[in-house]
Structures are given as structure tokens and as C-alpha cells.
A and B are shown apart, each in its own frame.
Chain A
Amino acid sequence: MSIHSSGSRSNNSILEVSLSRSGSKARPVRYGSKGADSEGLSMSQRELRDEDARLVYINDPGKTNETFEFGGNSIRTSKYSVLTFIPRNLFEQFHRVAYVYFLIIAILNQLPQLAVFGRGVSILPLTFVLFVTAVKDVYEDWRRHKSDRVENNRLASVLVDGKFEEKKWRDVRVGEVIRIKANEPIPCDIVLLSTSDPTGVAYVQTINLDGESNLKTRYAKQETHGKEGFGGVIKCEKPNRNIYGFLANMEVDGKKLSLGSSNIVLRGCELKNTSLAIGVAVYCGSETKAMLNSSGAPSKRSRLETRMNFEIIWLSFFLVALCTVTSVCAAVWLKRHKDELNLLPYYRKLDFSEEGEVENYKYYGWGLEILFTFLMSVIVFQVMIPISLYISMELVRVGQAYFMIRDNRMYDEETKSRFQCRALNINEDLGQIKYVFSDKTGTLTQNKMEFQCASIWGVDYNSTKDNMEGEQVEHSVEVDGKVIRPKMKVKVNPELLQLSRSGLQNVEGKRIHDFFLALATCNTIVPLLVDTPDPDVKLIDYQGESPDEQALAYAAAAYGFMLIERTSGHIILDIHGERQKFNVLGLHEFDSDRKRMSVILGYPDSSVKVFVKGADTSMLNVIDKSFNMDLVRATEAHLHSYSSMGLRTLVIGTRDLNASEFEKWHSAFEAASTAVFGRAALLRRVSSIVESSLSVLGASAIEDKLQQGVPESIESLRIAGIKVWVLTGDKQETAISIGYSSKLLTSRMTQIIINSKTRESCRKSLEDALVMSKKLLSSSGVANDAGGSSDATPVALIIDGTSLVHILDSELEEQLFQLASRCSVVLCCRVAPLQKAGIVALVKNRTSDMTLAIGDGANDVSMIQMADVGVGISGQEGRQAVMASDFAMGQFRFLVPLLLIHGHWNYQRLGYMILYNFYRNAVLVLVLFWYVLFTAFTLTTAINEWSTTLYSIIYSSLPTIIVGILDKDLGRRTLLKYPQLYGAGQRHEAYNKKLFVWTMLDTLWQSLVIFWAPLFAYWSSTVDVASIGDLWTFGVVILVNLHLAMDVIRWYWLTHVVIWGSIVATFISVMIIDAIPNLPGYWAFFHVAGTGLFWLLLLGIVIAALLPRLVVKFVYQYYFPNDIQICREAEKIGYERVVESGQIEMLPISDNPPR
């Protein structure tokens, strides 16, 4: 950092430092921190009011915590303790409406007037569900407790009575002075007081906090730096979540100093490259910014569940209808038998048991009787709303997540990262994605910049093209008997290497010398020496905020221009083994207006030179008019060819400054950098003094390598009918070239490019583009009709951030959407993070299609959170995106297995499971309902109350869960071979209203068969309630399990176990229930099972009930097969062919495996 805050006035120093931090990037690749910086800026300019402040007395924790007890430093991510577990867990669980419904029904049942079921029975399902969830919560919380314990028991060195003592993290209090050594994590948020660096600088790594891997500089105030005793008061704002802002002032020795975000080091960071730092704790434990920011997994609700809730409303209506029918019929019955009720043997309204008095027994009058009947029928028919479905869905999602996490194909070897499932409730959304919004840098590309080509003085030196050997040269130097070598190896062009070694003898060599000098110096890289296992070898690690600058510095090092040391005043280079020191006279940071940066170097021979590097557009404007135009043209041609290869280009320029020029600049620079207000603008103006009349040294090209498998993945996604939009901060040419290399753009596509500076021109270009896209699509449509062979010309839209500024949040949005929905590819370049979210919102708000955003950096967070599904790449740029994401993985290409395989399966499984659960519960309810019609509408249940309760717990729950986890409609290979199959999810084929209606009709039929067949068979016979109830129980249970068995696509041994096991379990349960002599139905099963009629009825019920389903299913599958069906057959038959063909044909098959 060139501008250090040490001497200057605090408020402004913060301002400048934060600006310079964000501005130091060579390219505006990431906008994330900048946006937050400006926020922090506005914060720091506000006054700190007393009531919003907390007072911290340095090194006096007693006084600090006197008035207000600030939180200690122990953290608790766990939710419960042993004591609070039961009440808190119950409280949390009852946040779900479903459970409240459960509870209300259980309570209703406790009223004596409404006691349909026995007390124990009615509470059983609720307690079961609560118990299962509680066990799950206990397990999760136990893990959190464990990690908390580790965290809280770490040791920190705290100043006690003038000596530093070891203290556990959890005992650290606000106001205590803490000493931190290099590479130690920071225990809490501390304000720096002193560091081992003479200027008071400390480097911290914030990777855990914001994901940026580079080092950040923090400063101790000069007033406290290096002092022995610590005292003073810090007045700071209340704890908040803003990790980029800190507002405080400090009173030391009667002086009031202002503190900003550059003075605070946050918990979660690590001290690097600084041997010691001392600071005072200001926020502890749960009040630290890191903890305030760890909000846990985001909660989103899956689309399928939202749709399902709609059908649940229908089911509730249906439930109410059933209850109404029952209560109305009951009312009519009561009215018709009004006169008989008193002595009716099966009603007996009159109670004579009290001596002398005749009372009504359990008769509350007409109105209440109807109400009670209604409520009782709600209790009896409660399972119509499939509460168990919510629990089953949760379990199934856990199972699906387990498989996704365990999938070897989504494990990234390089970063050693597994797939992460952070949101557990939107698994099935992965199967319905229609739009993918992707970041480019770090997502499509590796964000590992590699220096590729240089064009020096009009000559193209290409390190890859012609020299196949392209060996990675390791340049190393010896310093003080130790070998220092760069951490990264770079491929070099031997010819260029040779030339660069030739030194300054000829003109060519001199130019090359200057070129690499510029690369090595014109940056903000901080070189760090890293130890290696070999004590004689040290690695030099270039730390910087821009990967491009790092790549350039490494490249320069490889060509012998090794940056060894950089301070604010000088730079030490090792040029081919010769150590040279340059004075840094001035440095103009990169900013997005100028799009260039410059450094003014004082040579040892006191000549002064300016080196400038920047984007081609900005550089070519400031070159010397008298400069050799051929050279410029040649360079431009090279630039063009580089960027069409997908390389990121920079132009390097230089200029000699004579004494008067330097003086002019210097005085202006001095004035500007000491200015109190508007320093940035002043400095920018000053920069134009030196950044003019440049001569072009050359251009560099850096490759941002595509990640492995990106073109294939994009192709797959496109075939799957997913529209891929790329949103990048890169410039247009780079974006387009990456588009080509990633197969996003093809030569067949017509590109529509919108680059407009004003709203009006935006409107115009949008309108033109709309017309054009219509014409293109329609003309090719005609051609299609005539020729029938060619596809419509795909249209690609390329739009830049400036145009989007005018379009988003204006009436032009609609037009853009119209246009974009016609295009098969949309590329947005130069977009800011919030614009990314805006584009996602543009699509999300206008269609019901599912959107997925994938990105890796802090700048993608807003987009990831906005999209229906957010995927974070856990790659180079740290964890910010991962923290905000629903799913995280190592590579872009994992998107294909994630969506096409897991997404497809999850969706199909869950869609079927929901329908099946609706069916399963409705069938039971309907059977109960039909029986109510024959009990004078009094809600007697023939099916034993225990069986009713166990139905959704033992009899039929496990198969649907196991099938929901394990069943696969198609194999992995088929799904990858035909990405089109993904369309099933996009078209909502596994769960939609039509299917719901059909399922319900099937349910109705099945319930009719189950109920009426025994009814007719046993009409006017001696059958008792319990026996026929057992028959109905088995009818329902066997039927729902066979129904499932009929729909299972893949039979694993586990599937067999659970389906047949459930039926067996039902038999056992019923036998146990019927062996309890105190129940009225004692021994009924053993009696009825001894009759042939029972078994014949059971067989008949099952066959007759499943018949229509089988017929419809077969006709539909055979004569109107959908794609999934055909592929399933192909899979099966293909497999059989392989088996049949046997040994002889094994060879050709293994040669050409069916992918």
C-alpha cells in the first residue's frame, strides 16, 4: 500500500485506504468488497452518538464491564443445553404449522365429549414425530457442542497485571489486551494498539471471513504503537454485522483519535507476516462480526413443496367436505330419530342411574351434537392431511443429500472438497432448473491466471504456440546463501528468455528489459518469503489482490526480473542475479475510471521513469501522438488475436520524465495527497500529468484457463434445455472469447450486442434487437417448414453493464426480458454484483421457471441468494459464495451430474412420493368415511384405533421413504447420454395437477373396492366389527404397499425388505393387537383368518383395486410412451442384449461402451 494512514488525519485516512484497497486491482474483477467499502465509508462519516456507543477502557476489563456486562468470548453455535433442550426444542418444532395441527387434534381428542381414540393412541403419532426430530436435533447439536468446545478452549495470550498470560478463549473479556503471534487466529474483534512492524502495520488474512485469500493491511495508531503501557478509552459502535465498516474513536493521553475499519482485526482472521500484534478486545464471542455474520444455511422453500401446499389446501377442503357430510347426515339422523333416542338400545339418551333423577346422558342438544360430530370427524379423518409426509420428505431429503455428498463424481481432487448440501429442503428443485446464471472468473475458468503471450515492441512472443517443449523454467536466485525461487512456475518462451538475458546491449534487449521491469514493478504485489522443508530454499509468494498482477509478477520473475522486496518507499528487484533498488516516487492506483495504473520509479542513476499498464482502450488514448503508428497497429493486432483466444490483455506503456516534468507532477502529487477533501479525485487529476504521451512497450496476455470439462458441461446443459447466462465483470472481448472456448457461443449463432451509454440508445438498440431476433427466428422457422432440416438460427445476446444500468429497474426491463427469452445464450459483461442479482430477478419475477446461480466470489453472493437455487464454487476466491449458497461444489462441471442426475432423481422421487403419500392417506380416510355411513354417522372406526395410528408409522411409512431415497427411474449413463430427459422436471412431469387428479380418482376407486367388497360379502352375516376391521386394515395396507411395488422402478434388496417387511409387520402388529384380551376385538384376526372368505376377499380386493391402474399404466406406457419410459426400456433391453450376447461380443461392447 502506498498510502499509509500513519500520519494523516484519521477520517480521511480511512477513506483513502479503503479506496486504495479496492482500487488496487488491475481489473475490476470483483466488486464485492468495493460496494461494502463505500458502505463502510458512509458509516464512518456519520457521527457516533453516545447512546449507540460502547465504551471500552483499554486494559481495564473490570471498568469496561462495570456498567454493562458485555458478552464474554465463549461462543455458542449450539442451540441447546441439557436443561433447555426439551422446552426449546419443543418450541422450535411447534413452529411448523403441521405440528400445531397435530397438537390441536390431539388436544381435541382429550376432551371427553370428543374422545374418539384412546388417550395414549391419539398422542402417539405426535410424540413419535417429535421424538424422531428431537433425536436428529440432539445429534446435530452434539456436533456443534463439540466444535464449540474446541473453539472456546483455545488459548490466547492476555495481558494480566502487566504480564501476558495464557487464557482460554472463552475467558477473554472486552477491554483486555491481547497479544497475537504470527499465524495465530484472532480470538475476538480487536483494535490494534501495537505491532512488531516499525510502522505499525499488521497483515491479516481474512479468508475465513470474506473469502479473499490475499493479505490485508491493518494499522496500529501511532499514538499507541510501540508504547509500553496501554491505557485509554475506545468509544465504538454497537456490535453489527458489517465486516467492512468500523466506527470508533479512541482517547489516548487526552488526544482524541478516530478509528476505522483499518484499525480493527476481526475474529476469524489470521495474523500473517507480522510476528506480533497487540490489541484490545472490543467485541467478544457472539458479538463479534464473524459470529454475527454466520447466519447458517439459508432457508429456501422448494418449488415442489409450494405446489404441494396448493394440493394440500385442496385436500383440506376435501377433509372439510367429508366432515360436513358426516355432521349434516348425523344431524338429519338425529332429527329423524328424535323421538326414539331416549330409549333406543344403541343410543339411550336417558340416564336413570342417578337416584330419582332422569337426566340426559352425553347429549348436549342439537347444535353442539353437530359441532361435536364435526370435530370428531376431523379427528378421525385427520390423516387426510398427510402430516407424515413432511417428516418423510425431510428424511428423504437427508437421504438424497447423503448420496449427493457421497457421490464420487462430484468430489474435487484438486481442492479436496466434497459436494456440500447446505440447504436441505430444496433438493428437488435441482431437477427443474430452466436458467443457469454463471459467473465466469473462477466458475467457468479456474481463476488461475497464467502468463501466456507478450507482444513487445510489435513482436509477438508466444509461449505456447510454436515451442512444444515449453518447459517450465524455474528461476531462482541466491540471497545470503539461501536460494529463493518463485512459488509458481511459468511456461516461458525460450527465445524471449534468451533475449531478456542478453541484457541492455541492444535496443531490443533494452525494450524487453523495460517491459519486464514494468511487469515486476507496476503493481501492488507484496512478496512474501515462505519456508520450505529444505532449510536452504525459500519460496517467494506474491501476495496481491489481483490474480492478474500475480501472474505478471511471476512471469517477470521467470524471465529473471524477480521482485524481492517492496516497501512504500522502494522496490528491490533481482534482475538476472543482480540486485537493483528503485525508489518508488509515486504510484497511481488502479481505478475503474482510468482503467490503468502507473508507478513512477526513480532509477539508481536518478533518472525517472513512469510505467503504466492498463486496459487497451484506456491506454491507446494516452499514447504519444508522434509515436510509431505501425508499432501501435501491430500491437493492436496482437491484442486482438490474444483476446480472441480468450486471453486477458493489458497494454504496457512507459515514459521518461525529465526533471521539470517530475517537479510539476511531484508538487501536484504532494498537494493532492495531503488534501483533506476529495483526495481521490485530485489524485486522479494528477495522474493525467504523467499518464500521457506514452510510448507503447508492448502488451501482455494472461490466460484464465477454463475449468476442466466446461465446454462439455455447457453443451449438456444446453441440450437439457437449460439456458445458460454468463454474467461476468470481464470486458466484452474476453467474455466473448471465453464464450467461444466454452462452447457457449458457436459460429452458427447470430450475435446481438448492446453497448449503449444512454437510456434512449438502449431503448433503440433493444427495439432493433427485438425486431432482428423476431426476423431471425421467423425466417429460419419458414426455412424449417420448407426444408425441415435446419434449426432456427440461435441468437446470442451480449450486453454490457453500462447498458444494464439504464435497463434494469426501468420500463426497459420488460423488453430486455422479451429479447433475452428469445436468445439461446445471454452474455452480460462488465456487470456489478448487484446487477447480477438484478438480472436473476429479471427472469425470476417474470417466469415461473426455476433459476440457478453459480458463482465463486463475494461478488456472486447477491446473485446466489436471489436465485431459486444458489450454488457456490468452493475454489480460489474463498468461502463467501459458499456460505451464501444452497449447494457447494468444487468444479463447474459438477453441475451436470448435480442437475441431470441427482436433480432429476430427486425431483422424480419426491414428486412421486408426494403423490403417493396423498394417495396412501386418502385411501385410508375414504375407507373410514365409507364405514361412517353405516354407523349412523357416529364415527365408529371398524379399523382398530391402534391400526389407524400405526398405519402411517409402521404399516406404510418405511417403504415410501426408502423408495423415495433409492428408486431411480433411469441410470446415470442414460441420463448423461440424453440430457433432454431433464426436460421432464422442467415440464413438471412428475408432479402436476393432472397427476394429482388422476391419483385421487384412483384413490377413490381403490377405497370403494376395499370397502364395498367386504361390505357386500358380509352383509347380513355374523361378522363382528373387529373382524371386518382387520380385513379392511389388511386390504388397505397390502394395497398401498402393492401400489408402491407396482410403481417401483428398481428393486434393490432393501426395497424388497421394506415393502414385504411392512406387510409382514402389519400382520404381526394386528396379531399382537388382537391378542390383548382387554380390547373388544380380542382374537378377531385369528378367527377371521381361519375362513376362506377372508383370504379370497383380500385377494379379490387387491386385484380389482389395482386393475384400472395397471391397465391405464400399461396403455399409457406402451402406446403413449414418454421419453423416460423409452429410455428405461432401452436400458433394460440393452442390458439383456449384453447378457445374451455373452462372451463373443464382449469385446466390441467394451470397446465402445454405451455411454
Chain B
Amino acid sequence: MASSSAAGAGSTDPTAARRNNTKRPKYSKFTQQELPACKPILTPRAVISAFLLVSVVFVPIGVAALIASRKVVEIVYRYESKCIPPNVTDKVAYIQSSADKTCKFSLHVEKHMKSPIYVYYQLDNFYQNHRRYVKSRSDEQLRDPGEEDSTSACKPEDTANGKAIVPCGLIAWSLFNDTYSFSRDNHNLTVNKKGISWKSDREHKFGKNVFPKNFQNSSIKGGASLNESIPLSEQEDLIVWMRTAALPTFRKLYGKIEVDLNEGDSINVTLQNKYNTYSFNGRKKLVLSTTSWLGGKNDFLGIAYLTVGGLCFFLALAFTIVYFVKPRQLGDPTYLSWNRNPGGH
């Protein structure tokens, strides 16, 4: 191409004569840009049917999603201020003190809740996605007992008393430590805390022979302590917590209640309010919820689908009307600009 002809500037090219014979570009549909092609165009019929199709698909999905969402029964109880004795003024001091922080209240079941009932804690205004926070972990260390000392990313919770912390980093350090227990009619409702984390995390991400060491031994405790005799792969609360939430308002699975709750039941909750969200005005909520095929209670998807489906139906209708009122023949050469105003060229 360009370069070679430039290079040959000062020379007579002995190969030129030989090349001449084969110089003609070989014919192929590809080089002549004549490959067979499909040329879809937006005909009114196609567009209107596409809109109709979208509305036909979207509206039922929207309805189904809405029904699913409505079927979910959810009990949310916000307790971070209610669980502070009324006489306490300095909430932060209170939560850091060693006083008994048991808190009791009861929840009313408005609607029958079918098991399993998921118990979540919800934190608001907690930026688990903060850059300093998400980076402060060592996945090598969690997995492999030999990598105990790879704590470089964990600062400032990398070492305590000169030894590496396992699990290190801010995320583990700030492990949530409120505990809940439930009873109904003075019978304890067992909360199953097994299997609340991802199986993949338990099996591959958190080592079966990695045990907590030196954890929460630094000057200030950030949250829960861990039983040093249980391997990380079985510390499910930690595993759940370390799946950092995407948004500043998030829920984490606490456990499952595996019996149905009936309408009108009153659930007594005994809660150890230990986790400090008071220093940054974080809210804490206890959530009991059933699930549907779509997850938790959230009308958004249903509404969105209905809106889009409805809009498409409306557009299909509008285009149909306009199409009949003011049609244009496709590909009619009289519409070409130089045919419309003669003398233009």
C-alpha cells in the first residue's frame, strides 16, 4: 500500500513488470462488498407489531410481578432508637459501654406467613461500598491458611500486637453483632443460621482450615468476635457480612424461621443491641419476610413492566391511527428532495 510505493520512490522496481499480470484485484463478493445481506427497514407494520409484542409480553409479566410482590409478607421493625433506654443521652457512650443492652419488643403478624421466613437485619446509611471499606480485605488469607500474613490490603486492621489478624481488614472488623431471638406464645422460635451464606463462598472462598486469630484484639472493637475454634467456612455470619452490599441501604440474612407464622400471631423479640450505628446515625431494622419467585417485597419491577407495556400499547395504537390517517408509500421516489422541488439542482 502507501508505504511500499513510497519506499520504492528512488528505485526502478524490477518486480513491477512481473506483478502487473496479477495486479487486477481478484473478484470476490467480499472484496467487491457484495456479500449477501439482510436489510431490515422500519416499516410501520413491523414497528407497530413490535410495540404490540412488547406490550403483550410486558403487561402480563408486570401483573405477575406485582402479584408476587404483593403476596410477600414483610414485617419491618426499626429499633436503633427504640432500644436505647429513654434516659440515655449519649447513645454512642451507651453502646460502647458494657451495660446490658437487651431489648425486648413484640411484632404483630398481620398476614399469614408461610415458612421459610427469612430474618434480616437492615442497615441504613451504612456505606459498605465505601472505597476504603471494600478494599480492606484479604481474600487470599480467607482461603488459604498459608497466606495468613498477606494482610497488606487490610490496613488499618492488618495486624494487632505485631501479629496478623485473621480475618483481617475493616469489613471483618466491623462484623455486625446484634443478636435476635424470637418466641411465640412463650415458645422459642428457632432461627436456623445454617445455610444463610452462599454455598460457593463456604466451599471455595472461606477456608475449611482457616481459623480466626488475633481477631478483635486491637485497641477498639469494631463488632462481633469470632469463635477461634470454628473454621471460617462455617462462620456464616462473617461470610454473609463479607459479601459487601451494593447500596448504602441493605439487608443481610440473619437466619431462617422454618415454621409458618399465622395471622394475628404476636412474636416476641429479644435483641442484644450491641452494634454501634449511633456514631454515624445509621438506622437498624429487623425484617421478617417471606419470599416470592421474584425475591422480596418490591413493587418496582411490576410497575415498571406495566408502564413500559402500557406505553408500548399506546404507541402501537397511536402509530396505527397515524398510519391510517397519513400513510406514506415506502420508497416512493417522488418524495426525494430533488423531485419535490424541481430546480433545486
A residues neighboring B (CB under 8 Å) = 75, 77, 140, 143-144, 147-148, 150-151, 185, 208-209, 267-268, 270, 288, 290-291, 293-297, 337, 340, 343-348, 350-353, 355, 358, 361-362, 401-403, 405-408, 411, 413, 416-418, 420-424, 719, 721, 784, 788-792, 882-883, 934-936, 938-940, 942, 966, 968, 972, 978, 980, 1013, 1015-1029, 1049-1054, 1077-1080, 1082-1083, 1086-1087, 1091-1093, 1096-1097, 1100, 1103-1104, 1107, 1110-1111, 1113-1114, 1117-1119, 1121-1123, 1126-1135
Contact = CB atoms under 8 A, between A and B. Distances in A.
- Chain B interface size, as a band, is 35 or more
Contact of B7 (A294, A405, A792): A294
Nearest to A151: B11
Nearest to B143: A1077
Residue of A77, A1022, A1100 contacting most chain B CB atoms (<10 Å): A1022
A789 B342 contact: yes
Contacts of B82: none
Given A352-B218, A1017-B301, 19 more contacts: A268-B9, A294-B10, A346-B132, A358-B219, A405-B25, A416-B20, A424-B1, A936-B248, A968-B33, A980-B337, A1018-B246, A1025-B128, A1025-B134, A1082-B204, A1087-B198, A1110-B42, A1126-B332, A1126-B333, A1130-B332
B252 interface: yes
B308 interface: yes
A1027 B200 CA distance: 14
Contact of B174 (A345, A1021, A1117): A345
A1110 B46 CA distance: 12
A297 B345 CA distance: 36
B40 interface: yes
Contact of A347 (B130, B161, B294): B130
A296 B308 CA distance: 58
B264 interface: no
A420 B42 contact: no
B246 A1027 contact: yes
B137 A1080 contact: yes
A344 B127 CA distance: 10
B279 interface: yes
Contacts of B124: 1020
Residue of A361, A1018, A1086, A1091 contacting most chain B CB atoms (<10 Å): A1018
B88 interface: no
B222 interface: yes
B342 A1096 contact: no
B343 A408 contact: no
B302 to A, nearest CB: 10
B143 to A, nearest CB: 6
B52 to A, nearest CB: 13
Contacts of A423: 2
Nearest to B27: A408
Nearest to B277: A345
B86 interface: no
Contacts of A148: 7
Contacts of A295: 6
B249 to A, nearest CB: 5
Given A208-B10, A1126-B333, A1131-B39, A1119 B2 contact: no
Nearest to B244: A1025
Nearest to A720: B345
Interface string B122-139: 101011111111100101
A1113 B130 CA distance: 41
Q: Which 7 A-B pairs have the closest CB atoms?
A: A294-B9, A290-B10, A1130-B331, A1129-B331, A345-B174, A351-B156, A1083-B200
Contact of B304 (A421, A934, A1100): A1100
Contacts of A401: 1
B101 interface: no
A346 B131 CA distance: 9
Residue of B33, B128, B143, B315 contacting most chain A CB atoms (<10 Å): B33
A1087 B128 CA distance: 20
A297 B15 CA distance: 21
Contacts, number: 356
Contacts of B58: 1100, 1103
Interface in B42-77: 42, 44, 47, 50, 54, 58, 61, 65
Nearest to B11: A151
B156 A352 contact: yes
Residue of A406, A792, A1135 contacting most chain B CB atoms (<10 Å): A406
B38 interface: yes
A1104 B304 contact: yes
B237 interface: no
Contacts of B248: 934-936
Interface in B1-28: 1-12, 14-15, 20-21, 23-27
A586 B49 CA distance: 90
Contact of B249 (A411, A1020, A1082): A1020
Contact of A297 (B3, B8, B223): B3
B42 A1132 contact: no
A1025 B246 contact: yes
Contact of B173 (A345, A358, A935): A345
Interface in B228-263: 243-253
Contacts of B14: 150
Contact of B246 (A407, A1016, A1028, A1113): A1028
Interface in B271-290: 276, 279-280
A788 B340 CA distance: 12
B330 interface: yes
A1083 B10 CA distance: 63
Contacts of A1121: 328, 335
B12 A1119 contact: no
Interface of B: 1-12, 14-15, 20-21, 23-27, 31-42, 44, 47, 50, 54, 58, 61, 65, 120, 122, 124, 126-134, 137, 139-140, 143, 155-162, 170, 173-174, 198, 200-201, 204-205, 218-220, 222-223, 243-253, 276, 279-280, 293-296, 298, 300-301, 304-305, 308, 311-312, 315, 319, 326, 328, 330-333, 335-338, 342-343, 345
A421 B308 contact: no
B132 A293 contact: no
B54 A1103 contact: yes
22 contacts: A150-B15, A293-B10, A297-B3, A346-B128, A352-B220, A408-B24, A411-B24, A418-B23, A418-B25, A422-B2, A424-B2, A883-B6, A935-B248, A936-B248, A968-B37, A1013-B304, A1015-B247, A1020-B249, A1027-B246, A1100-B304, A1107-B312, A1132-B39
Contacts of B298: 1016-1017, 1019, 1021
A1020 B126 CA distance: 11
Contact of B2 (A297, A1082, A1087): A297
B247 A1018 contact: yes
A1020 B251 CA distance: 6
Contacts of B331: 1126-1134
A978 B333 CA distance: 10
B42 A1118 contact: yes
A346 B219 contact: no
Given A268-B12, A401-B1, A421-B2, A1091 B295 contact: yes
B251 A936 contact: no
Nearest to B296: A1021
Contacts of B253: 1022
Residue of A791, A938, A1027 contacting most chain B CB atoms (<10 Å): A938
A1019 B249 contact: yes
Contacts of B139: 1077-1080, 1082
Contacts of B305: 1096, 1100
Contacts of B332: 1126, 1130
A1049 B37 CA distance: 9
A1128 B2 CA distance: 34
Residue of B25, B31, B50, B61 contacting most chain A CB atoms (<10 Å): B25
B245 A416 contact: no
A296 B158 contact: no
